[in-house]
A and B are shown apart, each in its own frame.
Chain A
Amino acid sequence: DIVMTQSPDSLAVSLGERATINCKSSQSVLNSSNNKNYLAWFQQKPGQPPKLVIYWASTRDSGVPDRFSGSGSGTDFTLTISSLQAEDVAVYYCQQYYSTPYTFGQGTKLEIK
């Protein structure tokens, strides 16, 4: 199984500042045949289901603000929120869909400082 490890576990950032969350996979999730990283990011607010934010490591899902960006390749990935807004407070999860069992990181709780 591919183990996903996020850092940090929690993060407090001031409004308008940059937030950065890291995710590391225990093996590469890059498919060399199509050069795509099978890595997604989800946002989950209290009492709500998760919401897809980023897929293919760097593609924003429809309607996601452009302050969200994803980067990385192979085993190391980053979710960046360029200018934190109050509505971005949530738990963020990375997930690999390269192979079953699909696995998630443990989550990073993002709060306002």
Chain B
Amino acid sequence: EVQLVESGGGLVQPGGSLRLSCVASGFTLSTYAMNWVRQAPGKGLEWVSVISGGGGNPYYADSVKGRFTISRDNSKNTLYLQMDSLRAEDTAVYYCAKERVTFDSWGQGTLVTVSS
């Protein structure tokens, strides 16, 4: 059974940093591109970033480009999202999602709150 478990969320001040992790099990992580998708409280879904199975070709939404960095360690079955220069508008639940055609499996999400 595919499982994705996010962690690393929390309360951070504007301008601060957080690193999210997503541990994968039940499938071979290196076979699939992986994504981060976020959802602000009471709002819709916003795609954040994708990385290929081998770790290359990262892409970012314009809203996070230059501030967020996606990476992965397939030997540890883990996807990461380094978030720097955080802003209030980055407050959201962050989901990792496995990409088979599109987002076929999602984690439960981790909440990031950016506030002073």
Interface residues of A (CB under 8 A from B): 38, 40, 42, 44, 48-52, 55-56, 61, 93, 95, 97, 100-107
In the docked arrangement, what's the CA distance between A105 and B95, Å?
17
Chain B contact surface mostly: strand
Among residues 64 to 106 in chain B, which have CB atoms less than 8 Å away from a CB atom of chain A? 95, 101-106
B44 near A101 (CB under 8 angstroms)?
A: no
Further 20 A-B residue pairs, CB within 8 A, beyond A49-B107, A50-B103, A55-B101: A40-B102, A48-B108, A49-B108, A49-B109, A50-B37, A50-B45, A50-B95, A50-B106, A51-B106, A52-B103, A52-B105, A56-B101, A93-B45, A95-B102, A95-B103, A97-B101, A101-B59, A101-B62, A102-B47, A106-B44
In the docked arrangement, what's the CA distance between A56 and B101, Å?
8
A102 near B50 (CB under 8 angstroms)?
A: yes
Interface residues of B (CB under 8 A from A): 35, 37, 44-47, 50, 59, 61-62, 95, 101-109
CB-defined contacts of B104 to chain A, threshold 8 Å: 52, 55, 61
In the docked arrangement, what's the CA distance between A55 and B105, Å?
13
In the docked arrangement, what's the CA distance between A106 and B46, Å?
10
CB-defined contacts of B59 to chain A, threshold 8 Å: 100-101
Minimum-distance CB pairs A-B, first 10: A49-B106, A102-B47, A104-B45, A100-B59, A97-B102, A40-B102, A107-B44, A55-B101, A52-B104, A101-B61
